[in-house]
Amino acid sequence: MASLKKLSPTKPAAAGAEIDILHPVTDLPLGIHITVYGSDSDVCRNIQRRQTNHRLEQAAKKGNRKKPATTAEALEAEGLDLLVGCTKSWRTDILDENGKVTGSRPEIELDDDEWLPCTPENVRRAYVDLPWMKEQIDSEIGDRSNFLQN
């Protein structure tokens, strides 16, 4: 039996895992790969702590009022901020004339001939414009099996 420490997701989550983005209808790989930090990484946990502290501060400022200290929109924005902050890099496969992968490009093509490098602004834009991609990333960041070896 292996020691339990070998099942710790912390180091692999900090290294990141590459997620293959799938077509939202066919589930076929699009040749786009996004590397994300796992939910157990310090990067993700620090973002979550900042957000929680902010919510607690807002609640304390509101005191005993009946109105909630946060809104659905604020929670949605926090979720997007977390995904943007946990996105490490992305790349697109380069294919030859036969469809064989010959390399990759450290950008994604959001629109025809509009190649975006992986910056927080571009990640935010891609996740807002493509909610299905954002949902894939959100699901994969929280899936510890992406960050643990068998």
The answer, yes or no, to whether residue 134 has pLDDT greater than 80, is yes
Question: Cα–Cα distance between 19 and 52 in angstroms, integer?
Answer: 27
Give the angle subtended at the CA of 60 by the CAs of 82 and 41, to the nearest 5°: 25
Residue 44 domain flag? yes
Residue range(s) defining the domain that contains residue 27: 10-146
Residue 118 domain flag? yes
8 compared with 146, residue with greater pLDDT: 146
Residue 3 domain flag? no
Residue 124 domain flag? yes
Global pTM? 0.86
Count how many domains the chain has. 1
Place of tokens 């339990």: 4
Residue 5 domain flag? no
Write out pLDDT tens, residues 35-91. 999 988 999 999 999 998 888 888 777 776 667 667 889 889 999 999 999 999 999
Residue 1 domain flag? no
